[in-house]
Structure 1
Amino acid sequence: MAAYHELITETLESYAVVERQAAALPRVAPHREPGHLPEGDRLGAWYRRTSIRGAASGPLAGRTVAVKDNLCVAGVPMSGGSAALEGFVPERDATVVTRLLDAGAEIIGKSVCEDLCLSGGSHTAVTGPVRNPWDLTRSAGGSSSGSAALLAAGEVDLAIGGDQGGSVRIPAAWCGVVGLKPTFGLVPCTGSVPIEPSVDHVGPMARTVADVAALLAVIAGPDGRDPRQDPRTTVPDYRPALAGDVAGLRVGLLAEGFGRPGRGDPAVDDATRDFARLLAKAGANVSEVSVPEHRDAAHVWTVVFVGGATTQLVDLAGGVAGCDPALAAALHRGRREHAARLSATVKMVALLGAHLIRTSGGAHYATARALTGPLTAAYDAALGQVDMLAMPTLPMTATPLPPPGAPPREQVARALEMIPNTCPFDVTGHPAISIPAGLVDGLPVGLMLVARHGGEATLIRAAAAYERLAGGFPMSPLTGGHS
């Protein structure tokens, strides 16, 4: 033991050097104000209100932005939707925050997100539920719940979301706005609360396709700090895609994305098929394609997600590259000190993951990660036949919020039941966009389009064309009219 003690003591010098060098990392600007708690927020969608103005000019000059509360905004308190981070104040901006400000945007607040982002509902945040602007008794979707609700209510021009299992696209669909999950690694996750490094995504949200394209152009591209990114990646000009038509575009209706068992709603499927008919009239070639692997893809995602989330919640607690050092330390401390106050979903994932680690090590996770290769190849094969896949973003419209004190089974069901079409593309990394596809019983329906890796321009082309053909997207009763 003495020999190992000596070796470890010598190696610890590296850690001491890193701690000393940490002082050179950029910290909060001295003029940054912490903002204030929201008042009169009937949606429960704001975590903090701010007024952080960016550059005097730029592509987003004059536009207001809500930043999901899993992203660091230096000097502004954040919680990641969780008791585990209450009171934490970041010292550094997330990369996407820096880019927003450099582009001239004004950050007017942090939007509420689900407890550590482990929910597709909008009922697990430590601050309480986020309500859907179309029906205040229903879920806004999650985990980027506040971002979507604020957009749908017209309280903000643009918003940033995060997506690990559908967390940009789920609330976009249920709130009737546009949300895009980029190709894995296109947008840096530096400065965000991590869940699983292979499924973490940050993406743009807005009421129109053009605004999503403009926002994506600002936040995309390597930052030199997120190892998940390819430093050779370049960001194209998405503006030409906004004016493109759909003549000759090949759209494949994914057979396995329709008729989902359980809580699937045939009316939602019908609304999505109406999209296809509209595009076909405009010259698109619409056909049905099959990817049998899609039926079980959510199970592969589940094992990857639980394995990665457990690493953050039970083991390293945020200690991954690209995570803010102070954020990693706060997560490590807070998840122990406030474990009893974590949501039922977080507790379930942590307990399950810990059990699997003790009983089988990382075998299940390793197997699921190995299966992502064949799964990705199956989607790629279908995308070799068509330019994009189309399916309902979610199999049902927004569900009622669980009542206070609902049993864990109900809370977890409302958090995860909607994800079978969205989560596969987090594990495969394909870009996917959710756009409004009309209303069913007065509630928004989302259409999801999926393209080849790097195919964001194709998604924007089709989504913008559909937006024009539909005459704009319907707006919630809190705003009225069309976008």
Structure 2
Amino acid sequence: MKKPDLESLRKIISMYHMTMDDAEINAYQKIMNESLFDSYEHVDRMVEPELPVNYKRTPGYRPPKEENPLNAWYWKTEVEHAELGKLSGKKIVLKDNVSLAGVPMMNGTKVLEGFVPQIDATIVTRILDEGGEILGKAVCESLCCSCSSFTSDTGPVLNPHNTLYSAGGSSSGSAALVASGEADMAIGCDQTGSIRMPSAWCGIVGLKPSWGLVPYTGIFPVDITLDHVGPMARTVDNVALLLEVIAGPDGLDPRQYGLQPKSYSKYLTGDAAGLRMGIVEEGFGWKNLSEQDVDRTVRKAAESFTKCGASVETVSIPMHRDGIHIANIINTEGTTVQMFRGNGLGTSWKGYHQTQLLDAFADGMAARANDLSAAAKITIMTGQYMQNAYRGRYYAKAQNLARLLRKAYDNAFRSFDVLIMPTVPYKATKLPDNETELKKIIDLSFGVDTNTGVFDVTGHPAINVPCGSTDGLPIGMMLIGRYGEEETLLRAAHAFETLTHGLFTKPAELK
């Protein structure tokens, strides 16, 4: 191990607002070097446990352009799996922040390019144990810092409904590959809406489960209080099936607080009899954001639940309009501290720490930080400034307010089983070109999560359900449920899908 020199200690002393002369620093340095590093050197010689890798796989390859028309594939591979199981015959793609041993993981950025995980994420093992065929890795946005689909260093992911438009982010490739029919199911991750936003813009079903239902072990994190991982598919039954397989505690993820998986497929009855549905007024009519056709389409879809046996009323939750501001602060400063300063993992949590990933990311940031996307750079600059200037006070206040935010929705759930609003207040936006100015790039990267980010803060489950389109661009309806009650959301989503005969979930044709 490299021991600290005087200059390193001077910097630390200054960082913590202390003053020492060189004689005093030398005295501390001698004590540190003679005794305090013994434990570090001892642990350095020990072998740490790794997660199991139970199935063989090929190294795979990065598909050429002719094999990747949407630029949605990062890597293709073949992975052995159990012969029989709940997912037999299902083709599945992983978001490229999920560890698949022996297969490169870039997480959308040159900073991590060349990293090859040594472990399988918990959900990967669960999928393979149930016979799922993992086809490879889907492109995601640069470090998952964007809500659109043009920030990955492998190039923009194209919307299969119209390739001039964004597929949404940050699970952009996952949504595009499912929507185009190249995969039956996909894994997405969601910190401000990154499962639901691309699902809405690509016209598929995407579920952000309750916080902690699905283990995040072996997945590149953003902020431990916001991290969610969940299923994406063209149909509700496939979403329910994949959730059954990946949900439940693994004993390694501190986000998990006792939620147990359920047989979600059994709740897909095709009706919503007895369910009380609340249309949240504050989810509509966002100034300078909401499009009238989106609001109109979602209201019409929500009201159609009466044909499935549900009751439908409007409800006001004023604090919903505060939610995105709370989410923005937690996401901005949390990402800065845990991801960028904490080299992806941060500290102060029990569970499996992926040290190889930490080393690779830290080395990459030291060598290639200039390659970060504009969205990542402005996150660092804003988050670190607020940490320096206000010592994390606003992050702390936002986390305190998050409890009031959750309570506001829980109060509404006393009267309703499901809440409804647009997933994204507007349809997919056009992809920018090389001449687009910085402010426009930043505006396109953010803002899509106006309705979605709130529920990453509160932890309530939320699902995007395709409910219409305008000018060939899909529109998504978001259903939100009580914490731990995914089965109610899936039942409601399946009822709507049955009512509309799956009209809005057909594979997209490239345009």
Q: Please indicate the TM-score interval, normalised by the length of the shorter structure.
A: over 0.9
| Deviation at residue 227 of structure 1 after TM alignment | 1.0
Residue identity in the other structure for 1:372: A
| Deviation at residue 388 of structure 1 after TM alignment | 1.0
Task: Tell me, yes or no, if structure 1 residue 478 matches structure 2 residue 509.
Answer: yes
CA-to-partner distance for each residue in 1:199-258, whole Å, 9 max, x for gaps? 00001000000000000011111111111112x332111122111521221000001001
| Deviation at residue 83 of structure 1 after TM alignment | 1.2
| Deviation at residue 12 of structure 1 after TM alignment | 3.8
Q: Distance in 2 between matches of 1:21 and 1:222?
A: 28
Q: Distance in 2 between matches of 1:11 and 1:27?
A: 34
1:119 to 146, 151, 174: 146
CA-to-partner distance for each residue in 1:102-125, whole Å, 9 max, x for gaps? 111111110000000011100000
Residue identity in the other structure for 1:402: P
Q: Distance in 2 between matches of 1:105 and 1:20?
A: 38
Name 2:472's counterpart in structure 1: 442
Residue identity in the other structure for 1:137: L
Name 2:224's counterpart in structure 1: 197
Q: Distance in 2 between matches of 1:422 and 1:14?
A: 45
- Please tell me whether the aligned partners of residues 270 and 498 of structure 2 are also in contact (alpha carbons under 8 angstroms): no
Name 1:279's counterpart in structure 2: 305
Residue identity in the other structure for 2:70: L
Residue identity in the other structure for 1:250: R
Q: Distance in 2 between matches of 1:380 and 1:282?
A: 24
* CA shift in 2, pair 1:97/1:8, >3 Å: farther
- Please tell me whether the aligned partners of residues 153 and 478 of structure 1 are also in contact (alpha carbons under 8 angstroms): yes
CA-to-partner distance for each residue in 1:279-306, whole Å, 9 max, x for gaps? 1122211001111011121000011001
- Please tell me whether the aligned partners of residues 313 and 335 of structure 1 are also in contact (alpha carbons under 8 angstroms): no
After superposition, where does 1:149-298 map in structure 2 within 5 Å? 149-230=176-257, 232-243=258-269, 245-298=271-324
Segment drifting more, 309-318 vs 378-387: 309-318
Segment drifting more, 328-337 vs 103-112: 328-337
Name 1:37's counterpart in structure 2: 62
Segment drifting more, 453-462 vs 277-286: 277-286
- Please tell me whether the aligned partners of residues 433 and 448 of structure 1 are also in contact (alpha carbons under 8 angstroms): yes
- Runs of 5+ in structure 2 lacking a partner? 1-24
Residue identity in the other structure for 2:490: I
Classify the secondary structure of the residue corresponding to 2:79: strand
Segment drifting more, 333-342 vs 133-142: 333-342
Residue identity in the other structure for 1:280: T
- Please tell me whether the aligned partners of residues 250 and 386 of structure 1 are also in contact (alpha carbons under 8 angstroms): yes
Q: Distance in 2 between matches of 1:154 and 1:440?
A: 21
Name 1:380's counterpart in structure 2: 410
Runs of 4+ with >3 A deviation: 1-24, 26-32, 320-323
Residue identity in the other structure for 1:443: L
- Please tell me whether the aligned partners of residues 55 and 79 of structure 2 are also in contact (alpha carbons under 8 angstroms): no
Q: Distance in 2 between matches of 1:220 and 1:238?
A: 10
- Please tell me whether the aligned partners of residues 27 and 91 of structure 1 are also in contact (alpha carbons under 8 angstroms): no
Name 1:311's counterpart in structure 2: 337
2:172 to 130, 140, 145: 145
Residue identity in the other structure for 1:33: T
Name 1:371's counterpart in structure 2: 401
Segment drifting more, 49-58 vs 130-139: 49-58
Classify the secondary structure of the residue corresponding to 2:363: helix
Name 2:10's counterpart in structure 1: none
- Please tell me whether the aligned partners of residues 53 and 105 of structure 1 are also in contact (alpha carbons under 8 angstroms): no
1:73 to 100, 104, 110: 100
CA-to-partner distance for each residue in 1:76-118, whole Å, 9 max, x for gaps? 0010001110000000011111111111111111000000001
| Deviation at residue 51 of structure 1 after TM alignment | 1.0
* CA shift in 2, pair 1:4/1:228, >3 Å: farther
* CA shift in 2, pair 1:276/1:346, >3 Å: same
Q: Distance in 1 between matches of 2:429 and 2:78?
A: 33
CA-to-partner distance for each residue in 1:182-204, whole Å, 9 max, x for gaps? 00000111111111110000010
| Deviation at residue 71 of structure 1 after TM alignment | 0.7
| Deviation at residue 15 of structure 1 after TM alignment | 3.6
| Deviation at residue 5 of structure 1 after TM alignment | 5.7
- Please tell me whether the aligned partners of residues 277 and 420 of structure 2 are also in contact (alpha carbons under 8 angstroms): yes
Q: Distance in 2 between matches of 1:423 and 1:169?
A: 10
| Deviation at residue 7 of structure 1 after TM alignment | 6.2
Aligned-residue Cα RMSD (Å) equals 1.8
Report the TM-score, using the length of structure 1 for normalisation. Answer: 0.95
Q: Distance in 1 between matches of 2:247 and 2:34?
A: 42
After superposition, where does 1:387-426 map in structure 2 within 5 Å? 387-426=417-456
After superposition, where does 1:346-365 map in structure 2 within 5 Å? 346-365=376-395
* CA shift in 2, pair 1:473/1:337, >3 Å: farther
Report the TM-score, using the length of structure 2 for normalisation. Answer: 0.90
Name 1:432's counterpart in structure 2: 462
> How many percent identity over aligned positions?
46
* CA shift in 2, pair 1:408/1:31, >3 Å: same
Residue identity in the other structure for 2:271: D
Q: Distance in 1 between matches of 2:214 and 2:508?
A: 33
Residue identity in the other structure for 1:44: N
Classify the secondary structure of the residue corresponding to 2:231: strand
Task: Tell me, yes or no, if structure 1 residue 87 matches structure 2 residue 117.
Answer: no
| Deviation at residue 339 of structure 1 after TM alignment | 1.1
- Runs of 5+ in structure 1 lacking a partner? none
Name 2:11's counterpart in structure 1: none
Task: Tell me, yes or no, if structure 1 residue 340 matches structure 2 residue 370.
Answer: yes
Task: Tell me, yes or no, if structure 1 residue 63 matches structure 2 residue 63.
Answer: no
Segment drifting more, 357-366 vs 136-145: 357-366
Segment drifting more, 46-55 vs 329-338: 329-338
Q: Distance in 2 between matches of 1:335 and 1:187?
A: 29
Number of matched residues? 479
* CA shift in 2, pair 1:407/1:385, >3 Å: same
* CA shift in 2, pair 1:129/1:248, >3 Å: same
Classify the secondary structure of the residue corresponding to 2:77: strand
Q: Distance in 2 between matches of 1:150 and 1:286?
A: 34
CA-to-partner distance for each residue in 1:298-323, whole Å, 9 max, x for gaps? 00001100111101344111124544
| Deviation at residue 473 of structure 1 after TM alignment | 3.6
